[in-house]
Amino acid sequence: MLPWSSMHILTSPYLWILLFLVGGAVPIIYYLHQKHTYWLRRGVPFIPASKLLSQFVRLMLGRLQVRTIFEEFYVSLAGHKFGGSYQLTRPTLILRDPELIRSCLINNFSCFHDHQGVAPCPKVDPLSHNLYQLTGEQWHQVRQKVAQAFSSAKLRLMYQTLQGCAERLDAHILRLCSEGEKEEIELCAKELMGNFSMEIIAASALGIKSDAIQDPNDELKRMMDRAMVFSWSRFFGMLVQLLSPRLVKLLGLRSAEKEVEEFFERIIRDTVQMKSTAEGETRKDFLQILVNLRHAEQNNPQTAADVSVITDDVMMGVVSAFLAVGYDAVAVVFAFCLFEVAHRPDVQDKMFQELQSLKTPAAVQLPYDQLKNLQYMEQVISETLRKYPVSVVLGRTCTEPFRIPGTSVLVEEGVDCFIPILSLHHDPKYFPNPEVFDPDRFSDENLHNIVPGSYLPFGDGPRACVAYRLVILYMKTMLMTMVSNYTIHRCSRTPKELKYDGGRFFLTPKGDLWLRLRRRK
């Protein structure tokens, strides 16, 4: 029989609460320990869970940006070709070595063909059937079709549309100057480039004219801005996804707000209808090309309805992604580029001389075939994308077990792999003096210094950015317009150092970005 004092303890509610907590905590601690020793057990260098926890807390408190998390990983794993980390409890691999990166993206593409993230589920998320999210064979089929929209022949046609947008941009700046009877004008480059990007994306994706340059309240632009903001509900969606991708579908979590989604649906549906009935289609925009591909599929007796590739869901997904992703990524890369050249009159002069040497009356009239001769301008574009890779990190999922060459480490199916593009582009080992904007890194004489796999603004391999040639075309159109008509300068409101906005998906300058433009005589 127990002494009286022991009996008293046994009947105490505190004891039972304590036992309950300990009983509950032990299996949880064991579970977390098992999960967080995944890389230790495989002999892979890893970021300790305590560091990940502190990063998570700082992220929640707004003291850390997603970009910085990957920069810290890159630094912590210095000296290693790869290393382990965790997304909550999911093992994640960070790839640091350019050769290994190429091996995953190109030589062993079959092991890494899907992007990291939620697989599409059009019933719950109508915009999820986009090329980025599609997986496996369906991705392959849609990619083959969509890639046709970015062939040289199609880009040549799109260029005509872009020239019209460039003329409107120039007319707008000229009007601002003449209103104040000024030779020069100060303006917010981020806003101007956002509006210009909206016009070129609307024209090349949908074939419609946006009035964003003239009208800052343009509805299409307002919706795009809402589509690309990193909200708490999205963050919650990402956390749920880490716990269980199935839960995302069960809870019906979407990639965009309902209103934005409905807007996209309406605008795409109306434009498709207009194009399907319009006679003498011109095939100058992306949606028109998809409509034509769909007609070809429907008119082909060998294409059964159930194997059609360009379905309504796919049409909706790929076009809305073109609009939202294209608009935001292109707008920021334009702004970064102008910011850098504003500090470098020598770089502007060289681009101007190059344009002059092509002897075209107005830069925007430069024929498509001559664009390839703008070699120095291409170097400026490459260096902008080196210093500011708008996709700071690239995420792929391991789709087939992969043994890391020269090691016994087996990457298991389902493990997410991240490539920290921004950190590679700023690693002095690959790009000496990385903070210096130096277009000559990409000159013919210096090109051999770039280590394959260290420069990845558009990713690499069969799943690289499908639109990269179009992006270069956009950038050339923008630079030709600006450099041939204006000199670009800093002004008193130009920030000395760029800070980044943590609330955007892409690398985005924080705050306004004021510059001064002076009309060339």
Q: Which of 91, 457 has the CB closer to ligand HEM?
A: 457
Element (H, E) at 410: strand 410-411
What is residue 519's three-state secondary structure? strand
Q: Which of 69, 333 has the CB closer to ligand HEM?
A: 333
Contact yes or no for 71/392 (Cβ under 8 A): no
Q: How far is the CB of 277 from ligand HEM (least distance, A)?
A: 25
Q: How far is the CB of 328 from ligand HEM (least distance, A)?
A: 9
Q: How far is the CB of 134 from ligand HEM (least distance, A)?
A: 7
CB atoms within 10 A of CB 30: 10
State which residue has the least CB distance to ligand HEM. Answer: 459
Sequence-ordered list of residues with C-beta below 8 angstroms from that of 136, at least 6 positions apart, any chain: 113, 114, 399
Distances 380 to 163, 267, 444, 447 between C-alpha atoms, Å: 20, 35, 13, 13
Cα angle: 238, vertex 240, 245; to 5 degrees: 95
Q: Which of 58, 140 has the CB closer to ligand HEM?
A: 140
Sequence-ordered list of residues with C-beta below 8 angstroms from that of 461, at least 6 positions apart, any chain: 102, 105, 106, 109
Q: Which of 52, 158 has the CB closer to ligand HEM?
A: 158
What is residue 8's three-state secondary structure? helix
Compute the CA torsion angle 363, 369, 370, 371 (nearest 10 deg): 70
Q: Which of 134, 185 has the CB closer to ligand HEM?
A: 134
Q: How far is the CB of 385 from ligand HEM (least distance, A)?
A: 6
* R_g over Cα of the chain: 26
Q: Which of 441, 516 has the CB closer to ligand HEM?
A: 441
Q: Which residues bind ligand HEM (CB under 6 A)?
A: 105, 115, 131-132, 143, 321-322, 325-326, 329-330, 333, 390-391, 394, 457-460, 463-467, 471
Q: Which of 177, 439 has the CB closer to ligand HEM?
A: 439
Contact yes or no for 396/459 (Cβ under 8 A): no
Q: How far is the CB of 164 from ligand HEM (least distance, A)?
A: 18
Instruction: Please give the distance of CA 94 from its chain centroid, rounded to a whole number.
Output: 18
Amino acid in position 57? V
Q: How far is the CB of 396 from ligand HEM (least distance, A)?
A: 6
In DSSP terms, 187 is beta-bridged to 515
Distances 360 to 157, 247, 262, 277 between C-alpha atoms, Å: 19, 58, 45, 39
Q: How far is the CB of 501 from ligand HEM (least distance, A)?
A: 16
Q: Which of 39, 455 has the CB closer to ligand HEM?
A: 455
Instruction: Please give the distance of CA 446 from its chain centroid, rounded to a whole number.
Output: 27
Q: How far is the CB of 465 from ligand HEM (least distance, A)?
A: 3
What span, in angstroms and rounded, lies between the C-alpha atoms of 66 and 55? 9
Q: How far is the CB of 442 from ligand HEM (least distance, A)?
A: 15
Which alpha helices (H) appear in 180-302, and where do they start and end? 189-201, 219-228, 232-243, 245-250, 258-277, 286-299
Q: How far is the CB of 146 from ligand HEM (least distance, A)?
A: 7
Q: How far is the CB of 315 from ligand HEM (least distance, A)?
A: 13
What span, in angstroms and rounded, lies between the C-alpha atoms of 407 and 45? 13
Q: Which of 36, 102 has the CB closer to ligand HEM?
A: 102
Q: Which of 46, 505 has the CB closer to ligand HEM?
A: 505
Q: Is 491 annotated as a binding residue?
A: no
Q: Which of 185, 331 has the CB closer to ligand HEM?
A: 331
Instruction: Please give the distance of CA 82 from its chain centroid, rounded to a whole number.
Output: 23
What is residue 485's three-state secondary structure? helix
Residue 492 burial by Cβ neighbours in a 10 Å radius (0-12, 13-18, 19+): exposed
- Secondary structure, 3-state, 339-401: HHHHCCHHHHHHHHHHHHHCCCCCHHHCCHHHHHHCHHHHHHHHHHHHHCCCCCCEEEECCCC
What residues form the annotated binding site for heme?
465
What residues form the annotated binding site?
465
